[in-house]
Amino acid sequence: MTLTIENAAKTFTDGTLALCSTNLTVGPGEILSLLGPSGCGKTTLLRIIAGLESPDAGSRILFDNTDVTGLAAEHRNVGMVFQSYALFPNMSVRANVGYGLKVRKVPAVERRQRVDEVLRLCRLTDYADRPPHALSGGQRQRVALARAVAPRPSILLLDEPLSALDAALRDKLRDELAAMLRQFRITAVFVTHDQSEAMAIADRIGVMSKGTLLQVGRPEELYHFPDNAFVAQFIGNAMPLTGRMENGVLQLPGGGLPLPAGATGKTAYIRPENIRLDQKGPLSGTVETVTFSGGHYRLAVGGILPHTSVLYLQHPGRTAPEIGSNVRLNIDPSDLIFLEDQTSTYS
Ligand code: ADP
Ligand code: MG
């Protein structure tokens, strides 16, 4: 099924503009992630798609070519998975998964077959007779997914389904969830505030900020070609190199960085993984913090950017410079991302 969202907006009765006019298409079987910080309107958009929230006049939601804008949630054939799995505590796993089929009056024999199939795909067969409280967090999450997909919904909507789990389990489950979602081949919209989760699970990501869908693209597109500063910072923590341009050289407190032609009127952004320690580098600063995260060190270097801003860099070596030591840095100009930016442009 193709989901089409046309001019969808939502103003709550108290005047809160939770969602500005939004247009978006999600293709058949595609997994799209809505990614953005808390309060940016992700859940509001998801609830509008589900029919749980009525959008402002002029908004349209289409499932394939059918306009469902005025259709109640229970008639939209939508599957939902929430952060709090909301499993029925007094029902077994099997009864939870079969619930939607029972409501739809699917005959018992067919119901049994479908539930068995979904339990198998979600690796829950061995737990079918247990109540939810006798399951681990990850297993409960799989039951919630199984229950949502068992009635073969036209679209699956997931709202931060991994947020309730602890960090280690979350990392493991997000790859597992990505694989499970793909095997069901259901068009899906997956809401998260976690960049790495969106990148692991989605075919395309829509980045949202303050009720606005800023950019939609494949994870690689958003990372390499962000349209604006918010996307560059939210996906991959790009940092603005705010300084003065003189004869093609960006003058920063820590030194001069030659910039390629065409930088005028824009701000250069750089990511931590694209800054190198280099004794012959053009920038010099002082190490302020060092944190070790297994695969690399993360250094905060002061004195390079104006004011008290620090430049973060990812250092892959086995040892790191000490706090307080002077370091020189280098940046390959081809790693810079140039963006229009009202707050700090090179003139
Ligand atoms: P997200 O899911 O991205 O965290 P939400 O869609 O839940 O964000 O909320 C978007 C904005 O709308 C927030 O400012 C939130 O406070 C507001 N909001 C959500 N629900 C209501 C409501 N029922 N009445 C008024 N404001 C709401
Ligand atoms: Mg939310």
One-letter-per-residue 3-state SS of 234-296:
HCCCCEEECCEEECCEEEECCEEEECCCCCCCCEEEECHHHEEECCCCCEEEEEEEEEECCCC
Residue list, ligand 1 pocket, CB within 6 Å: 12, 14, 16, 18, 36, 38-44
Q: What is the mean pLDDT of the chain?
A: 93
What confidence tens digit (pLDDT) does each residue in 217-250 have?
Answer: 999 999 999 999 999 999 999 999 988 888 889 9
| Mutation choice for ligand 1 from 14, 19, 33, 44, CB with most ligand atoms inside 8 A | 44
| Ranges 139-143, 172-176, 214-218, 232-236: which has the least confidence | 172-176
Dihedral sign computed on CA atoms, order 231, 233, 238, 241: positive
What confidence tens digit (pLDDT) does each residue in 126-139 have?
Answer: 999 999 999 998 89
In 3D space, the residue among 169, 93, 170 whose CA is nearest the CA of residue 132 turns out to be 93
Residue 108 has pLDDT above 80, yes or no: yes
Task: Report how far residue 17's alpha carbon sits from residue 19's, in angstroms, rounded to the nearest whole number.
Answer: 6
Task: Report how far residue 174's alpha carbon sits from residue 117's, in angstroms, rounded to the nearest whole number.
Answer: 22
Residue 209 has pLDDT above 50, yes or no: yes
Q: Specify the DSSP class assigned to residue 301.
A: E
**The predicted structure's pLDDT at residue 261:** 80
Confidence of residue 341 (pLDDT cuts 50, 70, 90): low
Residue 89 has pLDDT above 90, yes or no: yes
Task: Report how far residue 241's alpha carbon sits from residue 62's, in angstroms, rounded to the nearest whole number.
Answer: 43
**The predicted structure's pLDDT at residue 346:** 52
**Which ligand 1 atom minimizes the distance to the CA of 211?**
10
Q: What's the whole-number mean pLDDT along residues 202-210?
A: 97
Residue 347 has pLDDT above 70, yes or no: no
Task: Report how far residue 247's alpha carbon sits from residue 84's, in angstroms, rounded to the nearest whole number.
Answer: 57
User: Which protein residue's CA is at the shortest distance from atom 11 of ligand 1?
Assistant: 18
Q: What's the whole-number mean pLDDT along residues 316-345?
A: 88
Instruction: Provide the residue count of the chain.
Output: 347
- Going from the Cα of 193 to the center of ligand 2, the distance in angstroms, rounded, reads 8
Residue 123 has pLDDT above 80, yes or no: yes
pTM: 0.92
- For residue 132, CA distances in Å to 90, 92, 94, 136, 154 come to 8, 7, 10, 9, 26
DSSP string, 124-165: -GGGTTS-GGGS-HHHHHHHHHHHHHTT--SEEEEESTTTTS
Q: What's the whole-number mean pLDDT along residues 321-343?
A: 90
**The predicted structure's pLDDT at residue 263:** 76
User: Which protein residue's CA is at the shortest distance from atom 2 of ligand 1?
Assistant: 43
Q: What percent of the chain has pLDDT over 70?
A: 98
CB atoms within 10 A of CB 336: 22
Q: What's the whole-number mean pLDDT along residues 191-202?
A: 95
Task: Report how far residue 8's alpha carbon sits from residue 19's, in angstroms, rounded to the nearest whole number.
Answer: 8
- Going from the Cα of 138 to the center of ligand 2, the distance in angstroms, rounded, reads 20
Confidence of residue 344 (pLDDT cuts 50, 70, 90): very low
What confidence tens digit (pLDDT) does each residue in 4-58 have?
Answer: 999 999 999 999 999 999 999 999 999 999 999 999 999 999 999 999 999 999 9
- For residue 149, CA distances in Å to 40, 84, 347 come to 27, 17, 55
What confidence tens digit (pLDDT) does each residue in 150-173 have?
Answer: 999 999 999 999 988 888 888 888
Q: What percent of the chain has pLDDT over 90?
A: 82
In 3D space, the residue among 84, 117, 85 whose CA is nearest the CA of residue 98 turns out to be 117
Tokens 């409960």 identify what position?
140
Contacts of 262 (CB under 8 A, 6+ apart): 338
Q: For residue 248, is it left (φ>0), alpha (ψ between -120 and 50) or beta?
A: left
